[in-house]
Amino acid sequence: MKLPRVVFVTGAASGIGRSVAMRLASEGCAVVVADTDVANGEATCASITSAGGSAICQEVDVRDRESIRSAADEATRRFGGITGLVNCAGLVTMTSLDDLTEEEWDLVVDVNLKGTWLATQEVARDIAATGGGSVVNISTVEAEVVVSSTGHCQVHYNASKGGVKMLTKALAVELAGASIRVNAVAPGPIATNFVSLEGITAPETLEKLKDRLLIPRIGEPEDIASAVSFLLSDQSSWITGVHLPVDGGWLTR
């Protein structure tokens, strides 16, 4: 399986992004660990390099074009060019419609949706300059369905991730001429600290989710990293514009 030689991963300091970075490095990719959390980003890099891999940490806020551009330029200087991008940076605030502020709406939509657009617009130029490659966006099953166990959902999060789904399709069209494929992975419930690791891994949580999950376990970050690796690789060379659920069967019923 052939993977991009150099992959720029946003949100790589923790959670799914960290697992993606570690998986890609273990498969021979040089990884740009791009995150606002520099301390944990450096820890990700240290884990990669101690295992014999290659990585650099760059402070990147995906809402800030200049920080993306600076990190991409440094990656080109260090590794000779970028050939892949994974947009993992994302966040949510657990706020109902009645209590949702404009500041929270802007924060979540700007990071999840605008950030995916900005990072792709900037880094796709570098990928095109190397002759083409692949982009993978991290979405969620909540781009397809509303999940509400407490009487309210997070409308700003659903809106942002629904936007990522359609942005992925539009980017696949726009970037096809540059030999860049664009796909998305839509995770179901994953054991990370994105909301609460303790909450998502509690036995009672799995019991509540059994009616939706056909595979009776909470997903692991490595499950998502495996799908990302596939979509970046030449084994998916005739796949673009897809929104792939990796969700234990959540969306099946």
Alpha helices in 132-220, H assignment, sequence order: 155-175, 197-200, 203-209
Amino acid at 172: A
Catalytic residue among 157, 187, 218, 248: 157
Q: Is 157 a catalytic residue?
A: yes
9 close to 212: Cβ distance less than 8 angstroms: no
Please calculate the CA angle 58-197-68 and round it to the nearest 5 degrees.
20
- Find, among 246, 247, 244, the residue nearest to 236 by Cα: 244
Alpha-carbon span 117 to 139, nearest angstrom: 13
The SS3 of residue 16 is helix
DSSP 111-129: IIIIHHHHHHHHHHHHHHH
What length is written for the chain? 253
29 close to 6: Cβ distance less than 8 angstroms: yes
| Residues carrying an active site annotation | 157
